[in-house]
Amino acid sequence: MKITYLGQAGFLFETEKIKIMIDPYLSNSVERIEPHNKRRVPVDERFFEIKPDVMVFTHDHLDHYDPETAGRFIREGAGVTVLCPRSVFDKVRRTCFGNNYVLFDNTTEWTEKGVTFTAVKAVHSDPYAIGVIIDDGEKKYYITGDTLYSESIFESLPDDIYAVFLPVNGVGNNMNMSDAARFAKRTRAERVVPMHIGLFDDKTSDELECGNKVKIKIYEEIEL
């Protein structure tokens, strides 16, 4: 599985059979509402040439479900499968026809082109927020979405997660570095990928105390 970091909490997962986008934020929508949250890395237009098979939106915050970004991919007749929780579902399905909008709340599963997606609990200010586990048949990748640390999350997680992708910025109802390190340890994942830093702030993952963490750079492939 090839994985590219799109910035903030966005990722592109690719195999020869499927292209998956999760929470892409490729606009300046947030800045227009919150001028202090200005992009520090410009939008890379080349990503708009990609035709995703599946798009996952973990919750209804503008840097995760951004209608401006979503509209560049979810076009009339594009045939995109859109997985999203209830808070996003009623909004995104009005975008256009010719796509498959799936209500993807906690515990829901969806399989497409040999990849299984499982929605799992997240604890965030959007009460419908989810994380997602992507199982390509060889490895399980767990993208937490925005979340705080909660023991209740671990109840439904598998015990063979290969990589966990989690927020570490410590604001906006996200885990800070200390809690993210505890969270990562509880998942027993082989690789830990910090996210939600470097686009609106100067934070890095240097303070995250995980021996198995992976450093990533916006718009570059992640080497797991």
Domains of the chain: 2-195 (3.60.15.10)
- Residue (of 55, 125, 130) closest to 86 by Cα position: 130
Q: Is the model's pLDDT at 108 over the cut of 90?
A: yes
Whether residue 45 contacts residue 27, with contact meaning beta carbons closer than 8 Å, is answered with: no
At 122-157, the pLDDT tens digits run: 999 999 999 999 999 999 999 999 999 999 999 999
For 62-67, what is the mean pLDDT?
97
Residues 6 or more apart whose Cβ sits within 8 Å of residue 28: 38, 39, 43
E strand residue ranges, 47-197? 54-56, 81-84, 100-103, 109-112, 115-121, 130-135, 140-143, 163-167, 191-195
Q: Is the model's pLDDT at 94 over the cut of 90?
A: no
Predicted local distance difference test score (pLDDT) of residue 216: 93
Band (pLDDT 50/70/90 cuts) for residue 95 is confident
Q: Is the model's pLDDT at 96 over the cut of 90?
A: no
At 160-172, the pLDDT tens digits run: 999 999 999 999 9
At 2-52, the pLDDT tens digits run: 999 999 999 999 999 999 999 999 999 999 999 999 999 999 999 999 999
Residues of the chain with pLDDT > 90: what percent?
95
What CA–CA distance (Å, rounded) separates 206 from 187?
A: 20
**Mean pLDDT, rounded, of the chain:** 96
